[in-house]
Chain A
Amino acid sequence: MSGVVDRRGERERRSPPAVVARCAGGSGVRELLAGLEEEGVPVRLASGTPTGGAATSPADSGEAATAVELAHAAARASPLDVGVGIDVEGRVCVHHAKRPADRPVVTTDATRARWCGHNAARLVVGLPLKEPPEQLEETWPQH
């Protein structure tokens, strides 16, 4: 099959530096992007399968990919080495391409998607991670 060239990889390399987010579920996506925007770090949304559809992984055929798998695939695709994954169950994970696949930076649920966005951005700019928003969550129901 000579002559057929897959240029998707090349296009990815040429794309401007950005954190990559792979979201299988819809919950928390808006908050996640808001966190990144507030910190001023660009982000690119990609499809919610671990390998971006280029090849099918074993996990893809059977059950849906976990947030950790999505995040790690996203981090490896990101020119900034930082990726975020949201799975269908609403788990959110922030990963760095240079970390072992099974040891993400943070894993949490969609209620803290905003916090994950902030932290993904902070990994890029080299700032300490934000404190978990425990106190905020407690005060929300009162309003």
Chain B
Amino acid sequence: MTLLVGVDIGNSTTEACLAECGPDGPRYLGGALTSTSGVKGTADNVPGVVKVVQEALSAAGRDQHELAAVLVNEATPVISGLAMETITETVITESTMIGHNPDTPAGAGLGTGTTVAFAELGACAPGERVICVAGAGVDFEDAAAGIAAARDRGVEVTGAVVQADDANLIVNRLPTPIPVVDEVTLVEKVPLGMPAAVEVAEPGRTVRTLSNSYGIATLFDLDPDQTRLVAPVARALVGNRSAVVVRTPSGDVADRRIPAGTLTLIGEHARLPVGVDAGAEEIMATLRRVTPLADATGEAGTHVGGMLATVRDAMAETLSDTGGEQDAAIQDVLAVDTFVPQRVTGALAGEFALENAVALAAMVRTSRAPMEALAGQLRSALDVDVHVGGVEADMAVLGALTTPGTRRPLAVLDLGGGSTDAALATGDGEVHSVHLAGAGDLVTKLIDSELGLDNRDVAEDIKKNPLAKAESFFHVRMEDGTARFFDEPLPAEAFARVVVLGEGGMRPVPTRHPLEKVRRVRRSAKHKVFVVNALRALERVAPGGNLREIGFVVVLGGSALDFEIPDMIAEAVAAAGVVCGTGNVRGSEGPRNAVATGLVDEHAGRTR
């Protein structure tokens, strides 16, 4: 009887599987899991491996002296990187619009006139149509009194733009209401003496005139060419409850398409260029035509050139740790269409516009990681034999086959953080594997940017947990409609907010988006990355690209623990009549520990 431990060093976790090998095959004693120390495949991994081995031993009540050997796998020599660039941009040159959505605008209707500072209201002639602009420090009572006095003199004050959150206070003090847009932070930049329009919709409705190009054209008497120029203004105001448009002579809102550049995909037989602004679908279609990919290059001086440079730089940084000159040829790319809320250049109230963007994940195949150096250090640290052996994909298949209810031909889908890997074991024991760019990290990045969070931790929490809305101080409503009650009052910051109930407790999501929207973003990010990649990976390993030939698909890896990704994949492959589910390694470990188990299994098989 020999005591063995298989260790799988992953990008984020290091897993161990402890087993006793006898003539009847391995008897599994348990496993352990810890986070990987350092970059995968480098000598920095040693502390993590030592820790996980000791944990597995102590959990099984065994001593380190009894250990006969440690088995380490040949790490998958791939590194992945991410980049994201917007391909459209909204620029306001000379402020012409305020399209923000204050919580409480006041009045209702449309007012037009010339912009006049509040202090100058007294100088306006009777009969003049004006829009009052009140800056910082104007009290609401003074503002209301000033506007009312001007109207008494016959000045037609048809609307107002104010800096403070005062709209209702002013309107409530006027004899007849006028539309007022408040919380305009940069009110001093509103051009004065220019024709302008203020529109506020009834509660529950959105602006009708200023979000319509011809509405603006009618108000300002524009010719067709000028109307073409204001079309982006109208588009940017769609969906707002209140809006202001100021017509300045040289003012212009440009809806610019950034030259995103051309991505050249170099296959083994063909070389095809594709414009990045054509979108993700076109890029992926081109990729299918050149497959297998040998390298990809981006046009220098364009966004795509910059994106690929970013990816390569990130990878070079990782590779420099593993030592040696590396040839960073890109082996796979995954392009995803996305939206990024971006601050409008030149806006007056911190407005955001949703810009189109393309996210690109790329993957580089590296030369072999220096596993022998790692093994040497492990040998001295643990004082036992260390064997390096076994291709990661082969080991994953062996581990997956310990899932009850599986047999060959079996495909493994390993959903990791940086890459999506697939391997197919045919009946005759041959294993065919692929590594594709794009996995959990890309999903987190998409959630982060589409919701404009700029906080990776919150995005990660949103990815991993169901959402809820705090409806009172004592209960939340989960996204599926069930309510959950708490004994302790919830923190005030969480009140009426969308929250995630993660391992670290409740966390408010800092966004104004409704729960439905956050959920949609989360699910679509997972779909765009994992479902697309699962199908891509299975088609690549399946005989003749035919999914029906596979039989069993076992989903493994950290992202297989996700509460909805495995279901989404199962749904997508169900049409092909494939049995697909989350792995349950050794009938007890779930989708974890497959490679570590495979190492022990393979070693036991060889020695028998």
Contact = CB atoms under 8 A, between A and B. Distances in A.
Interface residues of A, number: 22
A127 B100 CA distance: 18
B104 A38 contact: yes
A40 B136 CA distance: 22
Interface string B472-484: 1110000000000
Contacts of A105: 492, 495
A38 B492 contact: no
Contacts of B385: none
B492 to A, nearest CB: 5
Given A34-B140, A99-B489, A127-B103, A118 B496 contact: no
B474 A38 contact: no
Given A34-B140, A128-B496, A39 B104 contact: yes
A96 interface: yes
Contacts of B576: none
Interface string A33-68: 010011110000000000000000000000000000
Interface in B467-518: 471-474, 489, 492-493, 495-497, 512
B165 A122 contact: no
B166 A38 contact: yes
B492 A106 contact: yes
Contacts of B546: none
Contacts of B136: 139-140, 143
Contacts of A100: 489
Contacts, number: 49
A129 B169 contact: no
Interface residues of B, number: 22
A127 B167 CA distance: 18
6 contacts: A39-B168, A98-B474, A99-B473, A127-B496, A128-B512, A129-B495
A99 B168 CA distance: 30
B492 A34 contact: no
A13 to B, nearest CB: 22
Nearest to A33: B169
A32 to B, nearest CB: 13
Contacts of B64: none
A40 B104 CA distance: 9
Contacts of A3: none
Nearest to A96: B473
Contacts of A126: 471, 496
